[in-house]
Amino acid sequence: MNVVILAAGMGKRMRSDLPKVLHLLAGKPLLSHVLETARKLPSSRLFVVYGYGGEQVPGSLPAADVTFVRQEPQLGTGHAVMQAASRLDNAMPTLVLYGDVPLIATATLQRLVHSAEADKLALLTTHLRDPAGYGRIVREGEKILRVVEEKDASANERAITEVNTGILIAPTVLLKQWLHRLSNRNAQQEYYLTDIVAQASADGISIVSAQPDSEWEVLGVNSKGQLAELERRYQRHLADTLMEAGVSLADPARIDVRGTLQCGRDVYIDVNCVFEGEVVLGDGVSVGPNCYMRDTRVDAQAEIRPFCHIDGAAIGAGALIGPYARLRPGSSLGESVHIGNFVEVKNSHINAYSKANHLAYVGDAVVGSQVNIGAGAITCNYDGANKHQTVIEDGAFIGTNCELVAPVRVGSGATIGAGTTLTKDAPPGSLTISRGKQTTINHWKRPAKKE
């Protein structure tokens, strides 16, 4: 089918220079959500009608399978579809979606498509307790006669609770005829796409309707308040889905998933955690409060303590991370590794049972198993131009306040004494230490502050 996504509006109530469809919901632009859903429909040709913000929309969401069509000026939804009309394949029906209605479900659209059959106009409608702002569905018995926009509706018509979501599918040949006959004689002086419903009725075309599974699927975004409300509705839906799958959430109202979160059995997630990209939590994983995780895999029985920032990491089974730890991209931790408070790891592989329990930096390193890295120890991996690797072999002990100046290797079972600046390889099984001579100056006085 042809799929036309209307995304040209300014969104005045958003009070932003950013086109409305580029505002984020669950970490992705509103329009991205609609495109992802449309791609799940069979054999779809995708068209996005953009306008406000110039090239920001196609520039932000380039895609080989999307044809972008500019609407300038913006003269209503009917006018927007007109801009794409010449490109639509007459042999296929045309589905119209909206870039600011981000959470429409594939199953709902499939139901709408099925109801249209081959020759009907099908509208997606729903009943709202408060239909303010929506066009009303005017029926005679069960028969749909027309859609009236709220600003043009009578008092009786405004009392109707069945509303038009704007989403529809129509035979393309008929749609083009109806678009050609649209008029802008209305309160907004715009070409309403909804006016094709009255034309279809007058032409004797069957008009049918389908309904979404959930009201929030068809809610649009016109203000920052509505965006925030839809965010919470969506996040609660994700939270309910997680709990139905067996995940324990300390508070389902205080979790944000901005991508995909895959959980094993008996996973526990505390409050105020944010998950971005693709995150996988294995069986029995526990995540403490106020943690951020992005594109990360955590294996079974690992514990992530509070206030950790984890990005692009792989964490082994039984590992203990945090509190206040930071794992940066390329961090790979083996079984039962301990990364403690105020420890940062970047682009490093740390093997099983090794520990860096506090105040350390491990960057561009390969760390063996059963290694102890003391407080204040750092790998000096950057020379101002290039990164260099540190290798710490199995069983090594790195004392407190050590600097390992890469490239450098610490041999198996070696001990690096506290306060050492290591600039050469340390041999295995030995103590390596470098310190300045301790000196005491008697009768020394601190400078006094000048008046």
**Which sequence positions are flagged as catalytic?**
358
CA neighbours closer than 13 Å in the CB half-sphere of residue 76:
18
Sequence-separated (6 or more) residues with CB below 8 Å from residue 238 = 26, 255, 257, 261
